[in-house]
Amino acid sequence: MSVSTPAWVDERADVRESRGMARTILATFVRNRTALLGVIIILTLSLAAIFAPLISPTDPLHMDFDALMEPPSRAHPAGTDSLGRDNLSRIIWGGRVSLQVGVLSMTIATVLGVSAGLAAGYYGRWVDTIIMRMVDAILAFPALLLAILMVAVLGPSLRNAMLAIAVAFIPSFARVTRANTLSIREKEYVEGARAIGASATRIMLRTILPNTMSTVIVQVSLGMSYAILIEAGLSFLGLGIQPPTPSWGYMLATGREFITLAWWLTTFPGLAIFVTVLSWNFIGDGLREALDPRQQRR
Amino acid sequence: MSMIIFAAVRFAPGDPAVARLGMEASRAGLEETRRQMGLDKPIPVQYLIWVGNIFQGDLGVSLSYSAEYPVADLVWEKLKRTVPLTLTAMAFGVGIALPMGIIAGLRPFTWMDNVISAVSLFGIAAPSFWVGLMLILFFAVQLGWLPTSGYGPIGGGFEWKHFVLPTISLGIQLLGALTRYMRSGMLDVMSADYIRTARAKGMPYQVIVVRHAIKNAMMTVVTVIALDFGGLLAGSLVTETVFRWPGIGLLLINAIQARDFAIIQMVVLVTAIIYILINLMADIVYGYIDPRIRFE
């Protein structure tokens, strides 16, 4: 920073104060059993996905023609599919796709949405108008329909599915951040920062952004659950990642063909989606409760 | 908005002429087909022609089904299949969610509330198409009570049995979300000052709940219902695939595979228009429930 900060302006005051706050937040979060359960499940699933090559019983693409459509057994705890591939291995590998889509699409949506919201809220006027018009245009479509349309246009692939999901979630991040920025902009400490000559970028990134983070974090964790749901839906329709890569949605689509013959092909992948989405919901709710004092348990 | 849809669809890679004639078609044949479809003109011109035709009530012909089949008829035909399903799903979701939300909100943190919250969480977190598959597995395959798929018995006609599973599958998400909002709405309202006042002046509990609490708690719920109607329309894309339901969802998915621009544009446009109309209706209903809004 070119302007030297006068000694009496303690820029880090809010940060130091938030140390104690952080502990309170963490304590509230940990006390929440379901949220903790969610964290444990997500951590387990993530580790399983990361170390899939090491822990999955067989190669998810390995076809065993002596074991076609076998019901769950000791050798294949979740049965095998019509090509003799081990269902459990495929579910573990499918977790990689869900994790990847969730993390990457939420990263894109957060970065773009938050910066758009910051700019719109801080600069106001025509910047605000243009950004918010674009956001409204995206919001004119239901998220799933928008994602389907985008993938239909760009062609089905994992990358396009992630992109489509990210775009569908930009509006919610932009709106939340804008609303927060509007109220924070009027605070004394922002005025103070401006008075000592901090640049607009610095104010937005160092002063306003940290104060909007708590709502954004809640949005991200709830967004993860929707992202995984939408990805599963896209793959189910054949618009997500292309076979032979295993993904939960696509496994359900193929399982549908054999529903009268093999219940395990539809039950287990769906259960995996359900548990993952549920856990993200638990985490999201727990975070909201911990970060938003108004939502404190009554 | 019509512009976004048009641009998005037209910039798609893939050539409908190729899709129609097959990969082995001759160059001259392809050129001829493109001219018939109006695809040889510049894209802005194509857009103006499309919009102009819409205002004349001509929505274009499907590029893949048959050259003479108007898209409007096709979409209308399919809408008649989809809309009833969306409505029954909505009735199912709202009909169960509201009472559940009210009960949970009036008796928070009791076993009733816990059971209801669990049901609503299931609705939110379970992918609707998986619920559909599980329902098929249990009621159609195991018990054989209900048909696995389709709109009616083979050979045409209509049967209520075919509605049951798709309705539950499509409505379950709405049910989950709505129960939650209704519950938290009731919680908020019941701790409000005017409820305390009503109690203090000796108003019977039932009257307070019915006349004050539920009405005010409905405020957010109306918005959620409206927003979720769009979600239901989009969700019907997936549900229709699960149950092989011959509605606009299946139509859109097939059109995407065939790169049939006219149909994709129409389906998306129609869905978006319905979505916007529903939101408008929600605003009007809002005014009825809460007269304060009308004067703003």
pLDDT of B27 reads 54
| B22: pLDDT strictly greater than 50 | no
Query: Cβ contact (<8 Å) for B1 and A140?
Result: yes
Torsion angle in degrees (nearest 10) through CA of B240, B91, B139, A271: 70
| B13: pLDDT strictly greater than 50 | no
Q: Which residues of A touch B137 (CB under 8 A)?
A: 259, 263, 266-267
**Residue B198 to residue B195: CA distance in whole angstroms:** 5
- Give the tens place of pLDDT for each residue, B110-163: 787 788 888 888 888 878 888 888 888 787 777 766 666 666 555 555 666 777
Q: What percent of chain B clears pLDDT 70, i.e. is strictly above it?
A: 66
**Residue B261 to residue A199: CA distance in whole angstroms:** 48
pLDDT of A8 reads 47
A80 φ, ψ to 5°?
-130, 160
Q: Which residues contact A191 (CB under 8 A, 6 or more apart)?
A: none
Q: Which residues contact B86 (CB under 8 A, 6 or more apart)?
A: B170, B229, B232, B233, B236
| B219: pLDDT strictly greater than 70 | yes
Q: Does B242 touch chain A (CB under 8 A)?
A: yes
Distance from CA of B269 to the nearest CA of A (A): 10
Q: List the single residue in B121, B136, B148 with the smallest CB-CB distance to A281.
A: B121
pLDDT of B17 reads 45
- Give the tens place of pLDDT for each residue, B75-85: 777 777 788 88
**Residue B258 to residue B22: CA distance in whole angstroms:** 11
**Residue A167 to residue A188: CA distance in whole angstroms:** 34
Q: Is the dihedral of CA B276, B277, B283, B289 positive or negative?
A: negative
Q: List the single residue in A140, A259, A263 with the smallest CB-CB distance to B276.
A: A140
**Residue B150 to residue B158: CA distance in whole angstroms:** 10
Where does residue B292 rank: exposed (0-12), middle (13-18), buried (19+ CB within 10 A)?
A: exposed
A10 φ, ψ to 5°?
-95, 95
Specify whether the CB–CB gap between B142 and A286 falls below 8 A.
no
**Residue B133 to residue B148: CA distance in whole angstroms:** 9
Structure tokens at B212: 């004050």
Residues B111-117: contacts with CB within 8 Å, 24+ apart? B113/B183, B116/B179, B116/B183, B117/B179, B117/B180, B117/B183
Distance from CA of A47 to the nearest CA of B (A): 21
Structure tokens at A2: 């070119």
Residue length, chain B?
A: 296
Q: Which of residues 145-174 of B touch A (CB under 8 A)?
A: 148
Q: CA distances (Å), A18 to each of A23, A208, A210, in order?
A: 8, 15, 11
Specify whether the CB–CB gap between B162 and B152 falls below 8 A.
yes
pLDDT of B42 reads 56
Q: How far is CA A259 from the centre of its chain?
A: 31
Pick the residue with more confidence: B247 or A104? A104
- As a whole number of Å, the end-to-end CA separation of chain A is 45
**Residue A51 to residue A43: CA distance in whole angstroms:** 12
Specify whether the CB–CB gap between A286 and A32 falls below 8 A.
yes
Q: What's the pTM?
A: 0.77
**Structure confidence at residue B207 as a pLDDT band (50, 70, 90):** confident
- Compute the 3-state secondary structure of chain B and give helix, strand, coil in percent, each to the nearest 5: 75, 0, 25
Q: List the single residue in B125, B231, B237 with the smallest CB-CB distance to A148.
A: B237
Q: Which residues contact A149 (CB under 8 A, 6 or more apart)?
A: A141, B5, B8, B264, B268
Query: Cβ contact (<8 Å) for A281 and B8?
Result: no
Q: Read off the amino acid at residue B70.
A: P
CA gyration radius for chain A? Answer: 23
**Sole residue written with tokens 């009268």:** A260
The DSSP code sequence of A137-149 is HHHTS-HHHHHHH
For each of chain A's 298 residues, which pLDDT tens digit applies?
444 444 444 455 455 455 566 677 777 777 777 788 888 888 888 888 888 777 777 777 777 667 676 777 777 776 777 776 777 888 888 888 888 888 899 999 999 988 888 888 888 788 888 888 888 777 777 778 788 878 877 777 888 888 888 988 888 888 888 888 888 877 788 788 878 877 778 777 777 788 788 788 888 888 888 888 888 888 888 887 777 778 888 888 888 777 777 787 788 888 888 888 888 888 888 887 777 655 444 3
| B15: pLDDT strictly greater than 60 | no
pLDDT of A108 reads 92
Query: Cβ contact (<8 Å) for B238 and A144?
Result: yes
Mutation for testing the A interface, residue in B133, B138, B169, B270 having most A CBs under 10 Å: B133
Complex ipTM over 0.85:
no
Instruction: Please tell me the least confidently modeled range out of A111-125, A146-160, B16-30, B56-70.
Output: B16-30
**Residue A39 to residue A282: CA distance in whole angstroms:** 8
Q: Which residues contact A280 (CB under 8 A, 6 or more apart)?
A: A38, A42, A102, A221, A222, A224, A225, A228
Interface A-B, measured as beta-carbon pairs within 8 A, has a size of 113
Q: What is the mean pLDDT of residues B256-285?
A: 74
Torsion angle in degrees (nearest 10) through CA of A246, A280, A144, B164: 90
Structure tokens at B68: 């003479």
Query: Cβ contact (<8 Å) for A142 and B242?
Result: no
